[in-house]
Amino acid sequence: MKKILTAILRFFERLIFAPRVPVGTPPGKEANTREASREDREAAEVKEEPKLKVAISSGHGSRVPGACGFINEVREARRVVRQVAGFLKARGVSVADFHDDASVTPADNLAAIVGWHDAQERDVDISVHFNSFHDPAAHGTEVLFRTGASRGYAERFSRVIAGAGTFRDRGARHRSDLFVLNRLTSRPAILLEICFISNENDANLYNANFGRICAAIADELAGLGS
């Protein structure tokens, strides 16, 4: 009697928990339907891989001017940040961007930028700037870094920005005298010097290739999370 009851219970368990097979499904496809149902359940249980989170800010501020030459550093750094952030959001990358409109002194500006970055949940810190030099012959792209963990990032971004803008690639430059890089050391942090605004040809190349430059930065950032 006990064996009969056990067999009946197993029958009803299979009946209740078996995958639903649509009416009219040919017998040969029933097993495939059940297998597909099992695979769907397993796929649903796979946790999604965490995506890259980017914090990107423009250098200086609306009330704390940066360099000014053939183009304006503050205005163009903001354009780059907005465009890059837009490209990243369109690709599903988590990105937060910042522009300082409150600070009135350089010290307050630096503190505001660092404070904002530190308050973000992020995997990489990016600060966008433009270079300037008293000798107008100086030209090209360089990316500044402080820690060893950031060196590879600096090399990659200098290369892709220079390629997109057809600038000279000046490469990664180690700096230990910059407030922002000295404070943002808990994760990779780089400071992009897109080109020299004191060089007319660099400024012209930047204007002509603005979209390509921003897309290259976004592509490289998106690639970090793949």
Parallel/antiparallel/unpaired status of strands 141-145 and 94-100: unpaired
List Cβ<8 Å contacts ≥24 apart for 19-28: none
CATH 3.40.630.40 domain position(s) in the chain: 53-224
CB 130 within 8 A of CB 89: no
The topology under which CATH files domain 53-224 is: Aminopeptidase (3.40.630)
Side chain identity, residue 35 = E
Q: How high is the pLDDT of residue 204?
A: 98
- Secondary structure (DSSP) of 118-130: HHS--SEEEEEEE
CB 169 within 8 A of CB 159: yes
Q: How high is the pLDDT of residue 51?
A: 79
Q: Is 32 helix (H, G, I), strand (E, B) or coil?
A: helix
* One pLDDT digit (tens) per residue for the chain, 226 residues: 555 555 555 654 555 445 554 555 555 555 454 555 555 554 444 344 457 999 999 999 999 999 999 999 999 999 999 999 999 999 999 999 999 999 999 999 999 999 999 999 999 999 999 999 999 999 999 999 999 999 999 999 999 999 999 999 999 999 999 999 999 999 999 999 999 999 999 999 999 999 999 999 999 999 987 6
Q: Is 175 exposed, middle or buried (0-12, 13-18, 19+ CB in 10 A)?
A: middle
Q: Name the token pair of 139.
A: 């030209």
The candidate with the shortest Cα–Cα distance to 222, out of 91, 103, 119, 65, is 91
CB 150 within 8 A of CB 190: yes
Distance (Å) of CA 1 to CA 4, 7, 8, 9, 31? 5, 10, 11, 13, 32
Cα 204-132-156 angle, rounded to 5 deg: 75
- Is the pTM higher than 0.75? The answer reads yes
Side chain identity, residue 25 = T
